[in-house]
Amino acid sequence: MTETVSRPTLEAVAARAGVSRATASRVVNGGDGVREPLVERVRRAVEELGYVPNQAARSLVTRRHDAVAVVIAEPETRVFADPFFALQLRGISKELTAHDSQLVLLLTEGRDDHTRVGRYLAGGHVDGALVFSLHLDDPLPELIHGAGVPTVFGGRPGWGDGARPAVYVDSDNRGGAREAVRHLVGLGRTRIAHITGALDQTSAVDRLDGFRDVMGEADPRLVVEGDFTPAGGERAMRELLERCPDVDAVFAANDLTASGVLRVLRERGRRVPDDVAVIGFDDMLPVAEQTDPPLTTVRQDIEEMGRLMARLLLRDLDRRTGKQGLDGGPAGVVLPTTLVRRASA
């Protein structure tokens, strides 16, 4: 039970293969510049001994960790109420795995956590960081910058554009919103409303901008602020019906909001899409497919976003070890969205 069967070391492998530790090390790390027969012998020794390199020892000298931190800064529980988060993680995980990198998850839940995360990143435990769910006033970017860790953001960061060029991956929130609203226009709707997301997040702002791109300033009463939650959607929809009873279409900032909208419409006896057409955003399957009627929505490929973030970061890391510089590359990558037509619009 307490038999901590001390794992074999490189030393042991070298001894068994009848070579020096240096040669054994070379083989373990790819085997370049080692003659074939020796490579073979070392490989066998590794196999027989069940040797696994001690990462701590390796990191100590290489200063690489083959690990990436994923920071999810979401004080609210929103992230946990939808599969967004899980899908991103999956995409990231796949990509990191393919590069033999480990995923260290840092969930934060308030001010204290922020300094903890800052310290961790500054401590040089990981090679880089992927950071999500930033709000406009979030202190995290500052901390991260201070930590000097290569970072890719999920979603366009909110601080003054260009002030500090950040690498990020985002969906085409604005373009997607435009497409959604144009679809409603194409349906012949004239009183098209928008229920926004939490406007301290760039995704919400961008979707609102997309709405305005098509509708102009129109009737300002047709824009109501929501918060990306079903409850927020309900509240906003009630307000909207009060302000503009003649509304005939709603573009909701996300599917969760749309589900709240649908509930209020049903409760008020408005038929969807006949009386009021509704479009969401995300194409979060468990929501969009289960609503009544099924939701027409703007799809974003969440998993691909995660994957791309990881890829960008790893590329950056590889670059730093190899040729320094080659500088920047694209600061932001924006993925396309697609309109998924179901029954609600």
The angle subtended at Cα 257 by Cα 79 and Cα 249, nearest 5°, is 155
Which residue in 86, 218, 241, 335 binds a second copy (CB under 8 A)?
86
AA identity, residue 190: T
Of the candidates 120, 122, 117, 115, the residue with the CA atom closest to the CA atom of residue 132: 117
**Distance (Å) of CA 30 to CA 24, 33, 322:** 10, 9, 17
22 binds, among a second copy, DNA, none (CB under 5 to 8 A by kind): DNA
Q: How many residues bind DNA (CB under 7 A)?
A: 26
Query: Could you tell me which stretch among 20-28, 184-192, 280-288, 306-314 binds a second copy (CB under 8 A)?
Result: 280-288
Of the candidates 308, 305, 310, 304, the residue with the CA atom closest to the CA atom of residue 126: 310
Of the candidates 256, 218, 211, 257, the residue with the CA atom closest to the CA atom of residue 237: 257
Helices 10-17 and 36-49 cross at an angle (nearest 10°) of 130
Peptide bond into 220 cis (omega under 30): no
- 10 is an interface residue for DNA by CB under 7 A: yes
- 11 is an interface residue for DNA by CB under 7 A: yes
259 binds, among DNA, a second copy, none (CB under 5 to 8 A by kind): a second copy
Closest CB to DNA among 5 and 163?
A: 5
- 259 is an interface residue for a second copy by CB under 8 A: yes
Strands 102-108 vs 128-132: parallel, antiparallel or unpaired: unpaired
Positions in the binding site for DNA (CB under 7 A): 6, 9-11, 19-23, 25-26, 28-29, 33-35, 37-38, 51, 53-54, 57-58, 60-62
Positions in the binding site for a second copy (CB under 8 A): 1-2, 5, 7, 50, 52-57, 59-60, 65, 67, 70, 79-83, 85-87, 89-90, 93-94, 97, 102-107, 109, 113, 116, 119-120, 122-125, 148, 230, 256, 259, 263, 266, 285-287, 289-292, 320, 324-325, 327
